[in-house]
Copies of this chain bind each other. A is one copy, B any other.
Amino acid sequence: MLLFYAPDLCPPEYTLNEEESKHCIRVMRLTCGDEVHLTDGRGTLYRCRIVAADPRRCRVEVVDRKTEFEPLPYRLTMAVAPTKNADRFEWFLEKATEVGVTEFVPLETARSERHVFKPERAAKVITAAMKQSLKAYRPELHALTPFAAFVTTPFAGRRLIAHCGTALSPAGKRYLADSLLPHEDVQILIGPEGDFAPEEVALALEHGFEEISLGSQRLRTETAAITATVMVSVVNTQQPHTPAPNHE
């Protein structure tokens, strides 16, 4: 299945951009009548047929559509301080998109080693991962957000902050995988290489965040972030026990 991202698609027809047209016609060697899939990134999957196999302006027509195609059974916002090395953060965006995230918030923190965040490349990585993993929902990417602005914005769901320092709350730190409940709407904060400052943890606690641990291993920022993403996915995955077909 070949999936393209068409946020501005309005049926019955759509013209792929030059890059996608080239991929479709020159690389994949598709031609008139062949099927491709498009998504608006908002949950609708369109099955389309190529009606003009133009390598620069490939036109397709919608055959049918599925709305709410394979939605995640949870909402997860990963608010992560971009790593000093941009590639590491982009790896996280790619992997987390595959595993399942609804929103990415690049956090500007007291100890951040990177204070400029270029969303263009990051957006490309997310789109490519969405297409590659055949998802109809595209995670939302926010602009670089100051830590205080994020944590002081009211939020109804679970708010969790992962840090390596001593617990500051009477409740203390809980292991993330043990503290999650299925189908929660979750925000998880992951700090920069130098961790969150104690003042930041304190501010988060004042605004409804709970302290979590990701276990005893020392993890890089992006490793901690993908580890947390997998834990949320696990807690929300019904055991899809697939019996084998009958063996005659």
Contacts and interface: CB of A to CB of B under 8 A. Distances in A.
Nearest to A228: B230
Contact of A169 (B132, B233, B244): B244
Contacts of A239: 174-175, 178
The 4 A-B pairs with the shortest beta carbon distances in the complex, nearest first, are: A172-B243, A167-B244, A230-B230, A175-B239
A170 B242 CA distance: 10
Contacts of A113: none
23 contacts: A99-B219, A99-B223, A99-B227, A133-B217, A133-B218, A166-B245, A167-B242, A167-B245, A169-B244, A170-B247, A171-B244, A173-B242, A175-B237, A175-B240, A178-B239, A213-B240, A215-B234, A215-B237, A217-B233, A227-B230, A227-B233, A231-B234, A234-B234
Contact of A172 (B168, B175, B242): B242
A interface SS class: loop
Interface in A70-87: 70
Nearest to A243: B172
B234 A177 contact: yes
Contacts of A217: 98-100, 133, 233
Contacts of A134: 218
Interface string A204-247: 00000000010111111001001100110110010111111101
A242 B176 CA distance: 12
Nearest to A167: B244
A42 B187 CA distance: 38
Nearest to A70: B216
Interface of A: 70, 91, 95, 98-100, 132-134, 166-175, 177-178, 213, 215-220, 223, 226-227, 230-231, 233-234, 237, 239-245, 247
A173 B247 CA distance: 15
Contact of A226 (B70, B226, B241, B245): B226
A241 B91 CA distance: 30
A100 B214 CA distance: 13
Contacts of A70: 216
Contacts of A234: 177, 215, 231, 234
Q: Which of A175, A219, A223 has the most CB of B within 10 A?
A: A223
